[in-house]
Structure 1
Amino acid sequence: MNTFKFQIYKDARGEWRWKLISTNGRIVADSGEGYSSSSAARDAAQRVKDNAGEATIE
């Protein structure tokens, strides 16, 4: 069972962002920047999803 989900949303400034939410509703990561389209935000979230497993902890 997947315990996390990405959410794409439009912020108050009209920019698109993503956030990663755990099953308890807490935000565990966010885009940190806005994107001009929902597809650009979705692509950025997908890159994080694809590469997070290879990330190192320093």
Structure 2
Amino acid sequence: MNVYNFHTYMDAKSEWRWQLVAPNGRVVADSGEGYSSLSAVREAAQRVKDNAATATID
């Protein structure tokens, strides 16, 4: 099954980040900033997921 996955992790500065990982294992997007808690990074990833379908391409 071809499923993209949001992966959350703690970076070297002890900040939480997310990555959007393609079915082939490649990272296709990332948070670009760190978050102070796991719940905050999950909320940020959820916002991206919720809004991506309505995004436009310039």
TM-score relative to the length of structure 1: 0.95
Render the CA deviation track for 1:13-44: whole Å, top value 9, x for unaligned: 10000000001000000000000001000000
1:56, CA displacement in angstroms?
Answer: 0.1
Q: Partners of 2:24 and 2:41 in 1: how far apart?
A: 23
Aligned to 1:25: 25
Q: Partners of 1:17 and 1:41 in 2: how far apart?
A: 6
Aligned CA RMSD, in angstroms, stands at: 0.9
Provide runs of 4+ in structure 1 moved above 4 Å.
Answer: none
Number of residues of Structure 1 aligned to a counterpart in Structure 2:
58
Q: Partners of 1:2 and 1:16 in 2: how far apart?
A: 26
Aligned-pair identity in percent equals 67
Greater displacement, 14-23 / 1-10: 1-10
Unaligned 5+ residue runs, structure 2?
none
TM-score relative to the length of structure 2: 0.95
- Residue pairs, 1:1-58, within 5 angstroms: 1-58=1-58
1:2, CA displacement in angstroms?
Answer: 4.8
Unaligned 5+ residue runs, structure 1?
none
